[in-house]
Amino acid sequence: MSAAAIPGGIPDSATGRERAMYAAADAYLAELFRWHPTAATAAGYHRHDDTLDDWSAAGVRARGEFLRRHRAALAPFEAGTLSPGGRVDLRLVLDDIEGARFAIDTLRPHERDPQFHVDLLGNALLYLTLLEPEAPAWPERLDALAGRLEAVPGFLANARAVLGEPSRVVAEMVLKTNAGNLRFVETDLPPLFARAPVAAARLERARAGAAAALREFQGWLETTLLPRATGDWRLGGERFGAKLRLTLQSSIDTDTIVTRALAAIDEVRTRMMAIADPLHRRLLADHDHGGTGEERINAVVGCVVNAVSERHPTRDTLFAYVRSAVERIKTHIRDRDLVTLPPDDDNFVLEATPGFLDGMAVAFFNPPPTLEPGLKKSFWISSLPRGGSPEADRALETSFLREYNDYALQGLAIHEAFPGHYVQYWHALRSPYATVYKKVFSSGTFAEGWAVLAEELMYQNGYAADEPENLLIHLKHGLRAPMNALLDARLHTSSEPEAELDRWALDLLQRIGFQEEAEARGKLRRAKVTSTQLSTYFVGHLEMKSLLEAARRAEGPAFRLRAFTDRLLACGTIPPRDARTLLGLPPA
């Protein structure tokens, strides 16, 4: 496969040595997409749409050799002169290689984590169906889908062969997420086949075979994998530290994160008390709380949070409420000139989370493929939790809706969509400056850091200024970023018994963080199964806020927020350290 197969890989401005570097990077990206066809489809590169990723023992060995070969090819360019943008791109590619090598050599998720296989399969099928109803590419995409469906039995047979003894928390979770894949194949796919009538018969045969394989896999998960799921979900200090460095692409270490997170929690809780105290006197005058310090903060803030959390939509009105909140939020962004917004016809949709991800988090933003930025941009909201009986369902629904009350849902929409992830990715994918590497190798630290900063900027610039209840819930949700980082670090580096860690985590989230029980338990599970991702919110916020403050100092009275945010987001979804370089800001 030639390097030219990747659109936009070599910038027109590149010459000489830099052009040779980009040619080597393009060769890596082209072969990377061959080894990871699901990632290629998700990026909008469709040469490998009819195949599934190979995670057999032979496939893993070949992957390792591919990574070593390209690392050697790029090594000569580490020394010498490159443009600032070229240096950033080289580092992005090298970081990707290092992360991939660490995964297959050390973490080995294909052996430890059944959700790894479920995610791959879910994305492999989903991303072939994210077209507009009248798109001319449907026959081609569905013909490729038939190839992937035909490969499902072999893919799942290999998963059964390579999976060892996962942790029980992951094995229990994957029973639900694999069932989501099965529902997608059984229910969501058949109505699409009419869009490729020539391939319809093949598609139905392949779909039936894939469904049978998924049902067999579900039975295997329940009867074979779950009973032997005795593995430890903890990474341990050494592996966690190494993975954290690769995830964050930052020099900040675990001890520093913990110290700053604890300080941030204290600061936010103090601010919450200042808002809650007058609200408490107005709303709950008959409540007399004694105590001082932390005890009084817990009592007063907790009472007010409980009271205002009663203002929430129902299961049936949840989506309608979020849609109305989005319109209010967009109006405020335009009024305060915070950032350039996408046009209203940009194909932004609010819809249910796909089954294979449902429950992993309450909401997601799913950007369009890097190479197909005009496709659908999805703000996904997960289904309300269920508990196995009508009584348990009602209890979990009430807990969920109290946590995601009227005010919290506004914050969620700000984070995931306006001006959070959706607006950020819109800028990144249409940027005339961001190369394909700055788009494909996206940084979670930048994305989550921007989304948390976006929430902060909205409220700092007058959003809901006459609603102290709204600000209180915003601050409550502001506790999540530092608490996420604390959970991440302690859970994965501690040798304490799991029951003790669970008690500590739930106390932190519920008593100190004022979270509902269902939310706290869901976050505890997420912390166990997604190591290091939860740290991106806090570290990202620290680093993005540092960029903003540096720009304010550098520009002085000439600083304009919208001009800065537009320039920042045009860098692409890259590590904040690299955005600092491209913006010409001094080192932190």
Residue 388 pLDDT exceeds 90: no
Asked if residue 308 is part of any domain, the answer here is no
Bridging pattern class, strands 363-366 and 377-381 = antiparallel
| Same structural domain, 206 and 331 | no
How high is the pLDDT of residue 3? 36
| Same structural domain, 19 and 165 | yes
Confidence of residue 289 (pLDDT cuts 50, 70, 90): confident
How high is the pLDDT of residue 371? 93
| Same structural domain, 182 and 330 | no
Phi, psi of 486 (to 5 degrees): -60, -45
Confidence of residue 2 (pLDDT cuts 50, 70, 90): very low
| Same structural domain, 471 and 562 | yes
Over the stretch 50-103, which tens digit does the pLDDT of each residue have?
999 999 999 999 999 999 999 999 999 998 889 999 999 999 999 999 999 999
DSSP three-state, residue 120: helix
Instruction: Give the separation between CA 265 and CA 511, rounded to whole angstroms.
Output: 12
Confidence of residue 1 (pLDDT cuts 50, 70, 90): very low
Greater model confidence, 20 or 361: 20
Contact 42, 17 (CB under 8 A): no
Contact 404, 381 (CB under 8 A): no
Mean pLDDT score of the chain: 94
Over the stretch 182-240, which tens digit does the pLDDT of each residue have?
999 999 999 999 999 999 999 999 999 999 999 999 999 999 999 999 999 999 999 99
Identify the domain boundary among 248, 274, 291. 248
Q: What share of the chain is helix, strand, coil (3-state, %, to 5)?
A: 70, 5, 30
Q: In what order do the strands lie in the sheet with 363-366?
A: 348-352, 377-381, 363-366
How high is the pLDDT of residue 4? 37
Identify the domain boundary among 248, 279, 299. 248
Bridge partners, 378 (sequence order): 349, 366
How high is the pLDDT of residue 81? 87
Average pLDDT in the 33-44 region? 96
How high is the pLDDT of residue 95? 98
| Same structural domain, 103 and 207 | yes
Asked if residue 197 is part of any domain, the answer here is yes
Asked if residue 454 is part of any domain, the answer here is yes
Q: Tell me whether residue 121 is exposed, middle or buried, using C-beta atoms within 10 angstroms of its C-beta: 0 to 12, 13 to 18, 19 or more.
A: buried
Give the chain's domain count.
Answer: 2
Residue 363 pLDDT exceeds 80: yes
Cβ neighbours for 97, distance < 8 A, ≥ 6 positions apart: 28, 67, 70, 71, 74
Q: CA 124 → CA 34, 36, 129, distances in Å?
A: 14, 10, 10
Asked if residue 367 is part of any domain, the answer here is no
Over the stretch 419-465, which tens digit does the pLDDT of each residue have?
999 999 999 999 988 999 999 999 999 999 999 999 999 999 999 99
Asked if residue 281 is part of any domain, the answer here is no
Q: What is the DSSP string of 497-526?
A: -HHHHHHHHHHIIIIIT---HHHHHHHHHH
Instruction: Give the separation between CA 475 and CA 295, rounded to whole angstroms.
Output: 18
| Same structural domain, 65 and 196 | yes
Instruction: Give the separation between CA 102 and CA 120, rounded to whole angstroms.
Output: 19
Average pLDDT in the 542-561 region? 98
Phi, psi of 348 (to 5 degrees): -90, 130
| Same structural domain, 230 and 322 | no
Domain of 198? Answer: 3-248
| Same structural domain, 36 and 175 | yes
How high is the pLDDT of residue 360? 67
Residue 6 pLDDT exceeds 70: no
**In the chain, what percentage of residues exceed pLDDT 90?**
88
Instruction: Give the separation between CA 36 and CA 51, rounded to whole angstroms.
Output: 9
| Same structural domain, 32 and 149 | yes
Instruction: Give the separation between CA 118 and CA 184, rounded to whole angstroms.
Output: 12
How high is the pLDDT of residue 396? 87
Average pLDDT in the 498-520 region? 97
Kind and range of the H or E element at 365? strand 363-366
Average pLDDT in the 155-175 region? 97
Q: At what angle do helices 468-478 and 406-416 cross, to 10 degrees?
A: 60
| Same structural domain, 223 and 339 | no
Asked if residue 305 is part of any domain, the answer here is no
| Same structural domain, 209 and 325 | no
| Same structural domain, 540 and 447 | yes
Greater model confidence, 541 or 389: 541
Instruction: Give the separation between CA 81 and CA 83, rounded to whole angstroms.
Output: 7
Over the stretch 92-118, which tens digit does the pLDDT of each residue have?
999 999 999 999 999 999 999 999 999
Confidence of residue 382 (pLDDT cuts 50, 70, 90): confident
Residue 497 pLDDT exceeds 70: yes
Bridge partners, 377 (sequence order): 348
Identify the domain boundary among 196, 224, 248. 248
Residue 290 pLDDT exceeds 80: no
Kind and range of the H or E element at 380? strand 377-381
How high is the pLDDT of residue 15? 85
Instruction: Give the separation between CA 9 and CA 27, rounded to whole angstroms.
Output: 9
Confidence of residue 266 (pLDDT cuts 50, 70, 90): very high
Residue 304 carries which side chain, given as an amino acid letter?
Answer: V
